[in-house]
Structure 1
Amino acid sequence: MFKRVAFKRKLILLAVYNITLISTVHKEIGKCNSEELYRIFQSINPDVIFLEAFDNSYSKYHQMLFSQFGVYQERLEIKAIQAYSQNHAFEYVPVLDIGLSDEFENKVAIVSENKDYQRLLDRYISLETNGGFQFLNSKRNIALQEEMRELEDRIIDDEILHQEVNKSIDAYEHSMLRNIYSFCKEKSFDKAIFMCGAGHRKTITQKIIEYEAIENLKLNWTFYNDI
């Protein structure tokens, strides 16, 4: 048993662990579609695909429906994963184990009624539709997301609500990264991708820097189209 464990640890130490963060949107819209995402998959050729999703988002039953009857899921990322699975071998790993809070949902509902926010959101959707994944994975996207967050703070003058929402988002993002690092401590691979909603790009990137400073296992993170 000791020799087998030691050999496993040696394999893990020899692994490369290249992970590319890809910012996504969960529904197809314009150039943000499964065909474009599939092409990104092909350019990276991952051995592992981490996704901001729960286990039941693409269950064994859903996988059977696709393999036996060709039934595609509606969610953009999973549809691309299904297409990629036809010609590639990889491990799919959903990394969510907690959801966002009711306070987060309440905040979204309130700001969505604001006319200024609706105009800013329309602008964002237009850039998303026409720019596709190049826009979602750009500094321009981060800047516009920041502009939206600042407007949200002005619309809702409730510091306690803001604190609760930020606490929920923080826990949500930390849970995804904890699950990725836990997986990497158990299994080895050369290339992986981690797909996460574009709204998390800035804060997830900051958290990755924090994790790399404290974790013994070092992962080689890159950020798709980081321009």
Structure 2
Amino acid sequence: MKITLIFSRHKEHGACNVQALLKIIERVKPDVIFEELSEALYQEAYEEKTLNNLESMAIREYVSKYDVPHIPVDTYQKPPNYESIQNSIFDKLFYGAGYESFQLRSFLDQVQTVIGEYGFSYLNDDSNDMNMEKQASLIHAALEKLNDPKLKDKYHKDREVVLKREDVILDNVYTCCKGNDVKNGLMLIGSGHRRSILRKIEERAKTEFSKINWHYFSDIYS
């Protein structure tokens, strides 16, 4: 079985847009799509149509032409008020740490410019990971400047949730592949997960009974 793993983002920006993602999906021609969505957000995207992120808009257009299943795999149960707590953390990091916050915002503006110009080729490249490392370093500097133990604790708990979500996402994908005749799948997930997900896939390859032949952005454009 083969799964092409494409790293994306949830909002359109410049070259990273719905039509660009749709072209990628059409190039892969998947018989199943795995989405970084919870079951609740999946319902908002496809039943209520109140969620319109980049991936869901591209997938809605694709499945209107080709009848393929698309499955929400981000099903880890997040803590209560997770999103509001996460927003409050980053609000303090972006605006509460003086010069360190300014550096963080400036760097993220630079990254946005790169995303706008290079789109999915950037999100699926090692340069994305390097910039994510730089972002983490700037966040650490802002946390140190704020010197707020409660904020640090909230931030580290947020990172733990992210790692647990990744584990559940991969668990769901492997489980689905064991129970179904998946010949050519597509998995979409945010580029912030890239380094961690690739590492976890490499580790799982040593122990997983169900062997997946993972393909990547470079494979479909090679």
Instruction: Tell whether the structures are fold-level matches, with TM greater than 0.5.
Output: yes
Which residue number in structure 2 is paired with residue 170 of structure 1? Answer: 163
Which residue number in structure 2 is paired with residue 112 of structure 1? Answer: 94
Residue 154 of structure 1 deviates from its aligned partner by 1.6
Distance 1:44 1:100 in 2: 31
The 8 Å contact of residues 153 and 162 in structure 1, kept in 2 or not, is answered as no
**Sequence identity percentage:** 26
Distance 1:122 1:143 in 2: 16
TM-score (norm 2): 0.84
* CA gap 1:115/1:197 in 2 versus in 1, 3 angstroms: same
TM-score (norm 1): 0.82
Which residue number in structure 2 is paired with residue 95 of structure 1? Answer: 73
Letter in 1 for 2:131: L
Q: How many residues align?
A: 205
Which residue number in structure 1 is paired with residue 123 of structure 2? Answer: 136
The 8 Å contact of residues 21 and 194 in structure 1, kept in 2 or not, is answered as yes
* CA gap 1:25/1:99 in 2 versus in 1, 3 angstroms: farther
Distance 1:181 1:128 in 2: 30
Provide the secondary structure at the position in 1 that maps to 2:205: helix
Distance 2:135 2:89 in 1: 13
The 8 Å contact of residues 45 and 52 in structure 2, kept in 1 or not, is answered as no
Q: 1:44-123, aligned counterparts within 5 Å? A: 44-59=28-43, 63=46, 74-98=52-76, 102=82, 104-113=86-95, 114-123=101-110
Which residue number in structure 2 is paired with residue 223 of structure 1? Answer: 216
Unmatched runs of 5 consecutive residues or more in structure 2: 96-100
**Does the alignment pair 1:149 with 2:136?**
yes
* CA gap 1:129/1:99 in 2 versus in 1, 3 angstroms: farther
Unmatched runs of 5 consecutive residues or more in structure 1: 1-16, 66-70
Distance 1:165 1:73 in 2: 23
**Does the alignment pair 1:179 with 2:172?**
yes
Cα offsets for 1:24-76 (capped at 9, x unmatched): 111111111110000001111000100100123232x86467xxxxx795211
**Cα root mean square deviation, aligned:** 2.3
Cα offsets for 1:172-221 (capped at 9, x unmatched): 11010011111111111111111001100110111111111111111011
The 8 Å contact of residues 104 and 168 in structure 1, kept in 2 or not, is answered as no
